[in-house]
Amino acid sequence: MTDIKWPDHLFLVGCGNMAGQMLARWLDCGLDPARVIVLRPSGKPVAEGVRVVSDYPAALPAGTTVLLGMKPYQIADVAASLAPLCGEETRIVSILAGTPLNDLRGHFPAARALVRAMPNLPVGIGQGVTALYTDAATPDEARAAITALIAPLGLAEWMADEGQFNEVTALSGCGPAFLFRFIDALARAGEALGLPADQAARMALATVEGSASMAARASDGPGALADRVASPGGMTREGLNVLDADDRLLRLLTDTLTAARDRGEAMARGG
Protein backbone atom coordinates (compact mmCIF):
# COMPACT_ATOMS: atom_id res chain seq x y z
CA MET A 1 0.00 0.00 0.00
CA THR A 2 2.92 2.32 -0.60
CA ASP A 3 0.94 4.20 -3.26
CA ILE A 4 -1.56 5.60 -0.74
CA LYS A 5 -1.75 9.39 -0.83
CA TRP A 6 -1.31 10.18 2.85
CA PRO A 7 -2.17 13.52 4.45
CA ASP A 8 0.74 15.94 4.59
CA HIS A 9 0.32 15.98 8.36
CA LEU A 10 -1.86 14.01 10.78
CA PHE A 11 -2.73 15.39 14.21
CA LEU A 12 -4.40 12.97 16.63
CA VAL A 13 -6.20 14.39 19.65
CA GLY A 14 -6.10 11.38 21.93
CA CYS A 15 -4.79 7.94 21.07
CA GLY A 16 -6.90 5.47 22.99
CA ASN A 17 -7.96 2.00 21.93
CA MET A 18 -9.72 2.85 18.66
CA ALA A 19 -7.55 5.76 17.51
CA GLY A 20 -4.51 3.72 18.46
CA GLN A 21 -5.66 0.82 16.29
CA MET A 22 -6.24 3.17 13.36
CA LEU A 23 -2.80 4.75 13.72
CA ALA A 24 -1.08 1.39 14.05
CA ARG A 25 -2.66 0.20 10.80
CA TRP A 26 -1.71 3.39 8.95
CA LEU A 27 1.88 3.07 10.11
CA ASP A 28 1.94 -0.59 9.06
CA CYS A 29 0.72 0.50 5.61
CA GLY A 30 3.52 2.99 5.13
CA LEU A 31 2.47 6.25 6.74
CA ASP A 32 5.64 8.16 7.63
CA PRO A 33 5.61 8.56 11.44
CA ALA A 34 7.33 11.93 10.99
CA ARG A 35 4.04 13.21 9.57
CA VAL A 36 2.18 12.37 12.79
CA ILE A 37 1.73 14.31 16.01
CA VAL A 38 -0.29 12.85 18.87
CA LEU A 39 -1.69 15.02 21.64
CA ARG A 40 -1.62 12.96 24.82
CA PRO A 41 -1.70 14.70 28.21
CA SER A 42 0.25 11.81 29.74
CA GLY A 43 3.02 12.19 27.14
CA LYS A 44 3.18 8.39 26.90
CA PRO A 45 4.90 7.21 23.68
CA VAL A 46 2.72 5.82 20.91
CA ALA A 47 5.01 4.37 18.24
CA GLU A 48 8.59 4.78 17.10
CA GLY A 49 9.08 8.05 15.25
CA VAL A 50 5.71 9.51 16.21
CA ARG A 51 5.95 12.79 18.09
CA VAL A 52 3.84 12.94 21.24
CA VAL A 53 2.98 16.29 22.83
CA SER A 54 1.15 17.04 26.06
CA ASP A 55 -0.19 20.42 24.93
CA TYR A 56 -1.40 22.01 21.71
CA PRO A 57 1.19 23.33 19.26
CA ALA A 58 1.29 27.01 18.44
CA ALA A 59 -0.03 26.22 14.94
CA LEU A 60 -0.98 23.32 12.69
CA PRO A 61 0.97 22.97 9.43
CA ALA A 62 -0.83 23.43 6.14
CA GLY A 63 -2.34 20.19 4.89
CA THR A 64 -3.14 18.84 8.35
CA THR A 65 -5.88 16.26 8.90
CA VAL A 66 -7.11 16.17 12.50
CA LEU A 67 -8.46 12.97 14.07
CA LEU A 68 -10.61 13.59 17.13
CA GLY A 69 -10.10 10.48 19.23
CA MET A 70 -10.60 11.65 22.80
CA LYS A 71 -13.68 11.05 24.98
CA PRO A 72 -16.83 12.69 23.59
CA TYR A 73 -17.46 14.70 26.78
CA GLN A 74 -14.14 16.49 26.24
CA ILE A 75 -15.23 18.10 22.96
CA ALA A 76 -15.90 21.59 24.36
CA ASP A 77 -12.56 21.80 26.16
CA VAL A 78 -10.68 20.43 23.16
CA ALA A 79 -12.41 22.81 20.75
CA ALA A 80 -11.58 25.82 22.90
CA SER A 81 -7.86 25.17 22.26
CA LEU A 82 -7.97 23.42 18.89
CA ALA A 83 -10.53 25.47 16.93
CA PRO A 84 -8.30 28.59 16.72
CA LEU A 85 -5.65 26.41 15.04
CA CYS A 86 -8.03 25.07 12.38
CA GLY A 87 -8.41 27.00 9.15
CA GLU A 88 -10.68 26.55 6.17
CA GLU A 89 -8.47 23.85 4.65
CA THR A 90 -8.08 21.81 7.83
CA ARG A 91 -9.74 18.41 7.53
CA ILE A 92 -11.33 17.06 10.68
CA VAL A 93 -12.38 13.43 11.18
CA SER A 94 -14.30 12.68 14.38
CA ILE A 95 -14.72 9.22 15.89
CA LEU A 96 -16.62 10.66 18.85
CA ALA A 97 -19.74 8.61 19.53
CA GLY A 98 -22.95 10.57 19.93
CA THR A 99 -21.50 13.84 18.58
CA PRO A 100 -23.51 14.98 15.53
CA LEU A 101 -21.97 16.82 12.62
CA ASN A 102 -23.85 20.04 13.42
CA ASP A 103 -22.31 20.03 16.89
CA LEU A 104 -18.86 19.55 15.37
CA ARG A 105 -19.46 22.47 13.00
CA GLY A 106 -20.46 24.60 15.96
CA HIS A 107 -17.19 23.76 17.70
CA PHE A 108 -15.01 24.18 14.58
CA PRO A 109 -16.67 26.91 12.50
CA ALA A 110 -13.68 27.66 10.27
CA ALA A 111 -13.13 24.13 8.97
CA ARG A 112 -15.05 23.22 5.82
CA ALA A 113 -14.19 19.50 5.72
CA LEU A 114 -15.77 17.77 8.69
CA VAL A 115 -16.49 14.03 8.68
CA ARG A 116 -18.01 11.74 11.29
CA ALA A 117 -16.52 8.24 11.35
CA MET A 118 -17.58 5.14 13.26
CA PRO A 119 -14.85 2.48 13.02
CA ASN A 120 -14.79 -0.89 14.71
CA LEU A 121 -11.85 -2.62 16.38
CA PRO A 122 -10.66 -4.82 13.46
CA VAL A 123 -9.47 -1.65 11.69
CA GLY A 124 -6.17 -2.41 13.42
CA ILE A 125 -5.66 -5.43 11.14
CA GLY A 126 -7.16 -3.85 8.04
CA GLN A 127 -10.40 -5.82 8.29
CA GLY A 128 -12.58 -3.28 10.01
CA VAL A 129 -15.73 -1.44 9.05
CA THR A 130 -15.88 2.36 9.16
CA ALA A 131 -19.12 4.24 8.60
CA LEU A 132 -18.64 7.80 7.33
CA TYR A 133 -20.94 10.80 7.11
CA THR A 134 -20.54 14.39 6.00
CA ASP A 135 -22.62 17.16 4.48
CA ALA A 136 -22.52 19.31 1.35
CA ALA A 137 -20.15 21.81 2.97
CA THR A 138 -17.31 19.30 2.79
CA PRO A 139 -15.53 19.67 -0.58
CA ASP A 140 -15.44 16.65 -2.87
CA GLU A 141 -11.64 16.54 -2.85
CA ALA A 142 -11.60 16.43 0.96
CA ARG A 143 -14.17 13.64 0.95
CA ALA A 144 -12.03 11.68 -1.53
CA ALA A 145 -8.90 12.25 0.56
CA ILE A 146 -10.61 10.99 3.72
CA THR A 147 -11.97 7.97 1.85
CA ALA A 148 -8.40 7.17 0.78
CA LEU A 149 -7.18 7.55 4.38
CA ILE A 150 -9.84 5.17 5.71
CA ALA A 151 -9.46 2.57 2.93
CA PRO A 152 -6.44 0.76 4.48
CA LEU A 153 -8.56 0.09 7.57
CA GLY A 154 -11.04 -2.16 5.74
CA LEU A 155 -14.55 -1.47 4.44
CA ALA A 156 -15.49 2.24 4.24
CA GLU A 157 -19.22 2.93 3.97
CA TRP A 158 -20.57 6.44 3.39
CA MET A 159 -23.97 6.91 5.05
CA ALA A 160 -26.69 8.99 3.44
CA ASP A 161 -28.50 9.54 6.75
CA GLU A 162 -26.62 10.62 9.87
CA GLY A 163 -29.62 9.51 11.90
CA GLN A 164 -28.61 5.89 11.26
CA PHE A 165 -25.30 6.14 13.09
CA ASN A 166 -26.69 4.37 16.15
CA GLU A 167 -27.91 1.53 13.93
CA VAL A 168 -24.48 1.33 12.32
CA THR A 169 -22.81 1.33 15.72
CA ALA A 170 -25.09 -1.48 16.91
CA LEU A 171 -24.28 -3.61 13.85
CA SER A 172 -20.62 -3.05 13.03
CA GLY A 173 -19.33 -1.10 16.03
CA CYS A 174 -20.70 -3.48 18.66
CA GLY A 175 -20.75 -6.46 16.29
CA PRO A 176 -17.22 -7.73 17.05
CA ALA A 177 -18.17 -8.20 20.70
CA PHE A 178 -21.30 -10.12 19.70
CA LEU A 179 -19.27 -12.35 17.38
CA PHE A 180 -16.63 -12.94 20.06
CA ARG A 181 -19.45 -14.05 22.35
CA PHE A 182 -20.79 -16.36 19.62
CA ILE A 183 -17.36 -17.96 19.11
CA ASP A 184 -17.07 -18.51 22.85
CA ALA A 185 -20.56 -20.02 23.01
CA LEU A 186 -19.84 -22.32 20.03
CA ALA A 187 -16.71 -23.57 21.76
CA ARG A 188 -18.49 -24.07 25.08
CA ALA A 189 -21.28 -25.96 23.33
CA GLY A 190 -18.67 -28.28 21.82
CA GLU A 191 -17.22 -28.74 25.28
CA ALA A 192 -20.69 -29.56 26.63
CA LEU A 193 -20.91 -32.36 24.06
CA GLY A 194 -17.71 -33.86 25.45
CA LEU A 195 -14.83 -32.30 23.49
CA PRO A 196 -11.77 -31.11 25.46
CA ALA A 197 -12.17 -27.39 26.20
CA ASP A 198 -8.95 -26.27 24.52
CA GLN A 199 -9.65 -28.33 21.41
CA ALA A 200 -13.22 -27.05 21.17
CA ALA A 201 -11.96 -23.45 21.46
CA ARG A 202 -9.42 -23.89 18.65
CA MET A 203 -11.91 -25.58 16.36
CA ALA A 204 -14.67 -23.03 16.98
CA LEU A 205 -12.35 -20.12 16.21
CA ALA A 206 -10.97 -21.76 13.05
CA THR A 207 -14.49 -22.66 11.90
CA VAL A 208 -15.70 -19.07 12.23
CA GLU A 209 -12.56 -17.66 10.62
CA GLY A 210 -12.71 -20.02 7.64
CA SER A 211 -16.45 -19.63 7.15
CA ALA A 212 -16.23 -15.82 7.22
CA SER A 213 -13.45 -15.89 4.63
CA MET A 214 -15.49 -18.23 2.44
CA ALA A 215 -18.58 -16.02 2.72
CA ALA A 216 -16.53 -12.95 1.77
CA ARG A 217 -15.34 -14.66 -1.43
CA ALA A 218 -18.60 -16.38 -2.43
CA SER A 219 -21.00 -15.09 -5.06
CA ASP A 220 -23.98 -16.33 -3.01
CA GLY A 221 -25.12 -14.74 0.23
CA PRO A 222 -24.51 -16.36 3.63
CA GLY A 223 -28.09 -17.64 3.81
CA ALA A 224 -27.67 -19.54 0.56
CA LEU A 225 -24.30 -20.88 1.69
CA ALA A 226 -25.89 -22.26 4.87
CA ASP A 227 -28.52 -24.09 2.83
CA ARG A 228 -25.83 -25.43 0.51
CA VAL A 229 -23.96 -27.00 3.42
CA ALA A 230 -27.14 -28.58 4.81
CA SER A 231 -28.07 -31.85 3.09
CA PRO A 232 -31.74 -32.84 3.46
CA GLY A 233 -32.16 -35.02 6.52
CA GLY A 234 -28.51 -34.57 7.54
CA MET A 235 -26.81 -33.35 10.69
CA THR A 236 -26.40 -29.74 9.55
CA ARG A 237 -30.06 -29.45 8.54
CA GLU A 238 -31.14 -30.79 11.90
CA GLY A 239 -29.06 -28.14 13.66
CA LEU A 240 -30.32 -25.36 11.35
CA ASN A 241 -33.87 -26.43 12.15
CA VAL A 242 -33.16 -25.42 15.76
CA LEU A 243 -31.69 -22.03 14.79
CA ASP A 244 -34.42 -21.35 12.23
CA ALA A 245 -37.44 -22.40 14.30
CA ASP A 246 -39.68 -19.35 14.69
CA ASP A 247 -36.75 -17.24 13.40
CA ARG A 248 -35.22 -17.60 16.85
CA LEU A 249 -31.68 -16.65 15.79
CA LEU A 250 -32.92 -13.68 13.76
CA ARG A 251 -35.11 -12.52 16.63
CA LEU A 252 -32.26 -12.89 19.13
CA LEU A 253 -29.89 -10.81 17.00
CA THR A 254 -32.57 -8.22 16.24
CA ASP A 255 -33.23 -7.86 19.96
CA THR A 256 -29.46 -7.59 20.57
CA LEU A 257 -28.94 -4.84 18.00
CA THR A 258 -32.09 -3.03 19.13
CA ALA A 259 -30.86 -2.96 22.73
CA ALA A 260 -27.49 -1.59 21.64
CA ARG A 261 -29.09 1.05 19.38
CA ASP A 262 -31.54 2.15 22.07
CA ARG A 263 -28.71 2.54 24.56
CA GLY A 264 -26.86 4.73 22.07
CA GLU A 265 -29.92 6.95 21.63
CA ALA A 266 -30.32 7.21 25.41
CA MET A 267 -26.67 8.20 25.80
CA ALA A 268 -27.10 10.88 23.14
CA ARG A 269 -29.95 12.30 25.21
CA GLY A 270 -27.72 12.30 28.28
CA GLY A 271 -29.33 9.23 29.80
Model confidence over 229-251: pLDDT tens digits? 999 999 999 999 999 999 999 99
Single pTM value for the model: 0.89
Q: Report the DSSP pairing between strands 64-68 and 51-53.
A: unpaired
- Write the CATH number of the domain with boundaries 9-160: 3.40.50.720
Please state, as a whole number, how many other Cβ atoms lie within 10 Å of the Cβ of residue 91: 25
Q: In what helix (H) or strand (E) does residue 248 lie, and over which residues does it extend?
A: helix 248-268
Distance CA 85, CA 66 (A): 11
| Contact call for residues 171 and 257 (beta carbons, < 8 A) | yes
CA distance 59 to 224: 55
CATH architecture of 175-268: Orthogonal Bundle (1.10)
Main-chain phi, psi angles of 42, to 5 degrees: -75, -20
For the chain, what percent of residues have pLDDT higher than 70? 99
Sequence-distant (≥ 6) Cβ neighbours of residue 132 within 8 angstroms: 115, 116, 117, 118, 146, 147, 150, 156, 157, 158, 159
What pLDDT, in 10s, does the model give residues 19-64?
A: 999 999 999 999 999 999 999 988 899 999 999 999 999 999 999 9
Map out the domains of the chain as residue ranges.
9-160, 175-268
Mean pLDDT within 90-110: 95
Q: Tell me the average pLDDT across 250-266.
A: 94
pLDDT band at 5 (very low <50, low <70, confident <90, very high): confident
